[in-house]
Structure formats: structure tokens, C-alpha cells
Amino acid sequence: MTDTMYPPSPSNHALDSSLPQPVESKKVQLLSPAGNLHKLKIALAYGADAVYGGVSHFSLRTRAGKEFSYEDFAKGVEYAHKLGKKVFVTINGFPFNSQLKLLESHIAKMADLSPDAFIVAAPGVVRLSKKIAPQIPIHLSTQANVLNVLDAEVFYEMGVKRIVAAREISLKDAMEIKRHLPGLEIEIFVHGSMCFAFSGRCLISALQSGRVPNRGSCANDCRFDYEYFVRNVENDELVKFDGKEFYVKNPDNGVMMRLEEEEGLGTHIFNSKDLNLSGHIKEILDSGAIDALKIEGRTKSNYYAGITARAYRAAIDSYYSGRGDSSFYINELQTLKNRGFTDGYIVHRPYEKLNTQNHQTAISEGSYQVNAEVDESGEWAVCKHTIRVGEAKEIVMPFGTSVACGKSDLGEIFIENGIWYMRFSRICLADNKELDSIHSGNVNAFKLPLPLPPFSFLRERL
């Protein structure tokens, strides 16, 4: 058993009256990805103030857009608004002339759902959105690459309410924009996948597989395993390079780079580490320049949606309440699958950091394995990894929720070293079939010994 203890949920404790009290309207917003309706609900349950997502190919995550129908998106907006939370629509693709009529129809259709903002990248689409749906605020996508006061001012004059700054912006530059344009909201990414190209402006996927990154269908070629080959100029055959060392050299300036290939795996020469700014929350919020913190990952897992929202919710609330212990949310983010973590460019400039790339692997396992995901009723769960009778699994609950110890004929809930666990004495499916163990291939829901908060997870340390 792990002896890591969760801190009391910040949402259950009043702020210390001796500390400076934040102005509620100025409190930073936590924005989470919503790849589908289910992930939207999970992100909100785990502490997000708002979510973002899209429908159709005008959103820069085509796969996520396919998972979100107009009907489900409408349900998501209604669901969030009932909780007093917000939904932002991604319309941040770059349309061709042949798509403009379809784009107009799409903007009008999404406006009818009454979302809280459109996230738009192209200046022409900003103007079109203001014309068709002037009542919907415009947030400028990070794809617009705003890094300075001049560009921010242009978009602000066009009616943009918020800019999602380029990934490469520094905190100092964000503060300068805020000083010149105090009425313009600034949002930055704090967690998620990074691109080796400038703010995602990449064409490798388009050239290699015909999938256009800036139209939402990136194939992530930068994450692939690559092997070294040598071309025989006499017969044009490719031969696997099996030398011990391999270099590329610039003949003009003599600069050489050594490429390493792990046998059986290949090399990852473009692969960026994942962004993780959880250790810089105080520095970011102390600046007074940032209005929203954004998490990347609409195509990532349900567990990712929950854990990232909960971790950054804890980090933000810890800042406002004056608590300084960051071990909880830093450790929680390590439970996720990742490519290694970097703090990107908000604090350090690109040339100052040498730890932004992962040359070893496209993705690595987190420190925990998810065993089950609890449904919206809180009484049933679906298996994600093996659960056996007699084994205890850690309970991960949405932000601000709790459970009580107890037993039933199916098992028990208990607490050990400050952590909640569930142990099964029987595993029973909805059709009353009883099992000694259940595995990820079994898609049938199984009954929990005692109810858990909806959208909880069961997990185990690897």
C-alpha cells in the first residue's frame, strides 16, 4: 500500500480569513478538454470551470469532433450551464474557399446552442463569426500564434475577448500584453502534448500521409519510431544502417548532431515531451496577467480528463487558500501516461531549455493502472484492467466528493494510510453471472459493493 495521503479537498474548506481574499470574478479559470459528452461530464465533475470541444472538421481535432454529435454537444452545453459552468466551441480550423458556405452554416448552428464562446484561429473566421453570431464571445486560438502586443491589439480591435497565447510566449510577454490591454483576457496552456513545430504549424503529417495537421487530422508522425537506412546510389536500394553511431552534419557551418537508435525500437528525433506547469502555478498567478489555464487532450482517456482537472483544481485552490504543499497534484499527474514532462516556454525561453524532447519513446506508462471506471449512477463500473476477488483497488473520486467505510455481500470500502480502497468478495455482472476475476475484454458492467461518486475510478500502482 502507498502511504501518500491526499490533502483535504480544497473545495470543502473555507479560505483562511487572515490571508488576502481573492476577488471571485478575478479568480483564474480552469479549462479542460471535452472530446465527447462523457469526458465533458468527467472534466466538470473533477473540477474544471469550463470545457472546450468541437463538432465537425472545422475543429482542430477531427477524431474528437467525430465523437461529438450536434445533439450530444447541445446536451453538453445544457449540462454545463446547469452546473454554472461554461462550454467553449472550437472552430479553429483553416477553411478552404470551397468550405465557406458550410462554415457559415456551422457557425449559425453552433450559435443556436448558446455556448459561452467560439475559439477561432483565422482572422476571416473571427470577422465572419462576429457577423453571424455577434452575441457569442470570440476567443482567439493558440493557432493564431499571438506573442506580442501588436498582434494582440489587432485582434482585440476586431472584437476578440480572449487570446489563447502561442505556446512559445513567455510570462513576461504575457504581462506586457496585459499591461497594454487590460481588458483583453489571456489564456495559456499548462498541461498536455507539445508539438516540435511552432504552435502546431507543421506539415510533416500532410506530406507523409496526406493528413493535414492544421485541418485537425494530424497523424502524429513526430511520435513514430524511425529507423536508419542507407541508400545504395548504384541500385537505389535501401539497406538498414547497423553502425554503432550515426551523425548528421551541416556542411556550411560544421555543426554535427548525433542520432541514437535503440535496437528493436528505433529513434524519436522529433518527439516533444508533454507540458506540465503544475510546479509554476504560483509564479503564473502572481503575475496577474493570466485569466485562464488550459489543459490539452481532447483525444486522451477519460482518466486523463479527470486526473488533470482534479490536479490543477487542487493547485489553483491551494494557491488562493495559501497552502503551499504541491506534492499531491504533482504526484497525481505522474500517474498519467506521458512522454516525460517539460515546463515548456512560459518561464524559460526555448534556447534556455534542453529537456523539451524525448528521444527514447513516443509514450510511457504512468505510475498507476486504471482498473475500472464507475458509471454515472455510481453503482456500476466497467473493467479497464484485471480485478480479482480479494484484491484491493484504490478509489479515485471527483473533486470535493467523499465516501464512507462499509461492507456488503459483494465487498467493502476501507481506508488505509489516508487512502480509500475497495475490495471485492464477489464480482457480479448485470445478468447475475458471478466471476472470480474480470478483465478488460469484458464489456459488461459489474456491480459495486457500495455506491461511489459518479465517474470515480479504481486503480492500482504499477
What CATH number is given to the structural domain containing 376?
2.40.30.10
Q: Looking at the domain assignment, is residue 398 inside a domain?
A: yes
Number of separate domains in the chain: 3
**What distance in Å separates the CA atoms of residue 417 and residue 4, rounded to the nearest whole number?**
7
pLDDT-based confidence at 2, cuts 50/70/90? Answer: very low
Residues 72-101: what's their mean pLDDT? 95
Whether 71 and 183 share a structural domain: yes
Q: Which class for 17: exposed (0-12), middle (13-18), buried (19 or more C-beta within 10 A)?
A: exposed
Q: What cell was used for 272?
A: 516533444
Domain housing 405: 368-461
Q: Is-contact 336 304, C-beta < 8 A?
A: yes
Q: Looking at the domain assignment, is residue 11 inside a domain?
A: no
**What distance in Å separates the CA atoms of residue 223 and residue 174, rounded to the nearest whole number?**
30
What residue type is 460 in one-letter code? E
Whether 46 and 159 share a structural domain: yes
Is the pLDDT at 48 greater than 90, yes or no? yes
Q: What is the pLDDT of residues 340-392, one digit of tens each?
A: 888 888 987 655 555 666 556 666 668 999 999 999 999 999 999 999 999 99
Q: Is-contact 439 383, C-beta < 8 A?
A: yes
Pairing of the two strands 29-33 and 292-295: parallel
Q: Is-contact 330 275, C-beta < 8 A?
A: no
pLDDT at 340: 82
Q: Which class for 83: exposed (0-12), middle (13-18), buried (19 or more C-beta within 10 A)?
A: exposed
Q: Looking at the domain assignment, is residue 360 inside a domain?
A: no
pLDDT at 434: 97
Q: What is the pLDDT of residues 437-454, one digit of tens each?
A: 999 999 999 999 999 999
Q: Is-contact 75 81, C-beta < 8 A?
A: no
Residues 187-201: what's their mean pLDDT? 78
Whether 261 and 289 share a structural domain: no
Q: What is the pLDDT of residues 156-180, one digit of tens each?
A: 999 999 999 998 899 999 999 999 9
Tell which wins on pLDDT, 325 or 315. Answer: 315
Q: Is-contact 93 119, C-beta < 8 A?
A: no
Whether 308 and 396 share a structural domain: no
Q: Looking at the domain assignment, is residue 143 inside a domain?
A: yes
The domain boundary residue, chosen from 238, 267, 296 = 267
**What distance in Å separates the CA atoms of residue 61 and residue 93, rounded to the nearest whole number?**
9
Q: Provide the 3-class DSSP secondary structure of residue 320.
A: helix
- The CATH number that applies at residue 302 is 3.20.20.70
pLDDT-based confidence at 19, cuts 50/70/90? Answer: very low
The domain boundary residue, chosen from 244, 267, 290 = 267
pLDDT-based confidence at 256, cuts 50/70/90? Answer: low
Q: Looking at the domain assignment, is residue 357 inside a domain?
A: no
Q: What is the pLDDT of residues 394-425, one digit of tens each?
A: 999 999 999 999 999 999 999 999 999 999 99
Q: For the chain, give the mean pLDDT.
A: 84
**What distance in Å separates the CA atoms of residue 199 and residue 224, rounded to the nearest whole number?**
19
Whether 179 and 310 share a structural domain: yes
Whether 241 and 297 share a structural domain: no
Q: Specify which of 193-207, 217-231, 320-334, 369-383 reaches the highest per-range mean pLDDT.
A: 369-383
Whether 58 and 91 share a structural domain: yes
The domain boundary residue, chosen from 207, 241, 267 = 267
Angle, CA of 240, 242 and 244, to the nearest 5°:
150
Determine how many CB atoms are found less than 10 A away from the CB of residue 160: 23
Q: Looking at the domain assignment, is residue 216 inside a domain?
A: no
Q: What cell was used for 273?
A: 515531451
Determine how many CB atoms are found less than 10 A away from the CB of residue 205: 19
Q: Looking at the domain assignment, is residue 5 inside a domain?
A: no
Tell which wins on pLDDT, 306 or 195. Answer: 306
Q: Looking at the domain assignment, is residue 14 inside a domain?
A: no
Residues 6 or more apart in contact with residue 309 via CB below 8 angstroms: 30, 32, 42, 43, 44, 46, 47, 48, 295, 399
Whether 184 and 157 share a structural domain: yes
Whether 35 and 126 share a structural domain: yes
Whether 158 and 79 share a structural domain: yes
Whether 283 and 380 share a structural domain: no
Whether 276 and 261 share a structural domain: no
pLDDT at 273: 83
